[in-house]
Amino acid sequence: MLKRAIWMGMLPLAMLLSACGVSLSGEPEIVSEREILPAPTLAPTSTQEAALETTGADTQVTPQPADDTGGGSVDLAAADYDLGFELYLANCAQCHGAQDGAQGPSLSNMRDSAATRIEGIAPADYVHQSIVDPGAYVVEGYQNIMPATFGEQFSEHEINSLVKFVLEFDPASMMGGAAASSPEDASSPEDASSAGQATPAPAAVSTGEVLTVRGKLVQGTTNGEDIPPNLAVQLYVLDEQGNLAGTFDTMSAEDDSYTFENIPRAQGYMYLIQTRYQDVPQGTQIHPIQGDERELVQDMMLYERTTDTSDIAISWAQMLINFAPIEEFGLEVWLRVELVNNSDRIVTHEETAGAHDWFVSAALELPVGAFGIQPMQGEDSQRYVVEVVDGIPVVQDTWPLRPGQMHTITVDYYLP
């Protein structure tokens, strides 16, 4: 009988930091270790593992009243997101990873479809039912192979915590620093010579209501150089669903000010403002608006770049090891590291990487022989680059690590 064991270690803060790189050569301190007994063997199917969410279109489900909050009868207020994250890694990640697989839908898919999967059932109630009674509804394209014992194996608090994690999971928040960056795939305006002119955008910008966005570029580095004039500044308009609704561009003036006129406005719209300073993309965000504003004022703090890593610290790190797939693949390792920039400069490597050719902000060295390396990131994101340097697998983070900002790097990989 195969047993699954989860080993959890808090890596010491004295982990090696070399040129913004994190080395895993140190010995971690074991803080918790436990075994998870497997569920009873199910009838043979074409796959061996199950999914958190499984389905069959002909199964009848009795709808229950929906809850406007999305929680339904599940007590999400008392649930523990971090506990849910741990339970997910230990019991669900093998079948529900970053992408849809043969065994089950992806974590993002489960989160996004929970509200519409069964009419009349609140998202939290649906996810809860999928955990304790997975055969009640089987998602099209998957088999009813998920163990039906989680309801007995876990307490109600643990199940609710897992529900909370599934519904609130956000790759951007797990990656860290997402709010400070502009949309990676937003096209840059080709001609920045005309202030406030829009590039082609979806019809969503045709709201009929407009506003003015203005602000100043502010030097955030102590004793930093004067910010040069005529920097290209971009404005990204996002609708209430987070979809790109338009891009605008202008140039900064002699006094470091910038102005965007005739910008579409609507309730829930938010705006990202970006420029490049010292070859690093830097920006600021205006949170969702009420929709009746005529002018928004938002200054943008800019920082000089340095390759001095002395002020970069590891604030927290965790490693979880799953022994379940050892006979088929090897050890599965989930590594989560939080890096904090305590300086007043953006810290990077000299090297650039990725589709945007951005400076590498951090390099995470994995053990020699690691394979199946999957950094946790949003769909179609090009934030991370994985390469082998002198026989050592390295995960490179290309998002700028701003002063006072924390980056969370989460990586799933296997060891033979």
Statement to judge: residues 225 and 290 lie in one domain: yes
Both 129 and 246 in one domain: the answer is no
Domain boundary among 302, 332, 366: 302
CATH code of the domain containing 122: 1.10.760.10
Per the structure, the count of domains in the chain is 3
Question: Considering the domain boundaries, does residue 287 fall inside one?
Answer: yes
Read off the pLDDT of each residue in 398-403 and give the average, rounded to a whole number: 89
Average pLDDT over residues 384-392: 91
Task: Give domain status of residue 403, yes or no.
Answer: yes
**Which CATH number covers residue 364?**
2.60.40
Q: How much is the average pLDDT of 263-274?
A: 92
Same domain, 63 and 124: yes
Residues 321, 201 within the same domain: no
- 193 Cβ neighbours under 8 A, 6+ residues apart: 251
Nearest to 199 by CA among 232, 160, 167, 234: 234
- Within 10 Å of residue 230's Cβ, how many Cβ atoms? 9
What DSSP element (H or E) covers 82? helix 81-91
Contacts of 116 (CB under 8 A, 6+ apart): none
Mean pLDDT score of the chain: 74
Does 154 share its domain with 234? Answer: no
Q: Does residue 175 form part of some domain?
A: no
Pick the last residue of a domain from 276, 302, 328: 302
Q: Is residue 149 part of a domain?
A: yes
Q: Which residue range(s) make up the domain with 273?
A: 197-302
- Same domain? For 294 and 337 the reply is no
Give whichever of 63-67, 267-271, 303-307, 336-340 has the largest mean pLDDT: 303-307
Question: Which range is least confidently modeled, 12-21, 55-64, 143-152?
Answer: 55-64
Do 258 and 347 fall into the same domain? no
Residue showing tokens 């959890």: 8
Averaged pLDDT, 115-123 = 78
Q: Is 380 exposed, middle or buried (0-12, 13-18, 19+ CB in 10 A)?
A: exposed
Lowest mean pLDDT among 100-109, 177-186, 300-309: 177-186
Pair (293, 254) in one structural domain:
yes
- Give the residue from 302, 324, 354 where a domain finishes: 302
- How far apart, in whole angstroms, are the C-alpha atoms of residue 148 and residue 144? 10
Pick the residue with more confidence: 200 or 135? 135
**Strand 406-415 to 21-22 pairing:** unpaired
Q: 252 and 279, same structural domain?
A: yes
User: Does an H or E element contain 175, and which?
Assistant: helix 171-175
CATH number at residue 267: 2.60.40.2190
Check whether residue 79 and residue 138 sit in a common domain.
Answer: yes
Question: Is 187 a member of any domain?
Answer: no
**Who wins on pLDDT, 292 or 2?**
292
Residue 102 DSSP one-character state = S
> What is the spatial distance between Cα 407 and Cα 345, in angstroms, rounded to a whole number?
15
Q: Mean pLDDT throughout 24-33?
A: 47
The pLDDT of residue 12 is above 60: no
Same-domain status, 44 and 159: yes
Asked if the structure places residue 71 within a domain, the reply is yes
Whether 224 and 109 map to the same domain: the answer is no
* pLDDT for the residue 299: 96
* pTM over cut 0.75: no
> Where is average pLDDT lowest: 48-57, 310-319, 378-387?
48-57
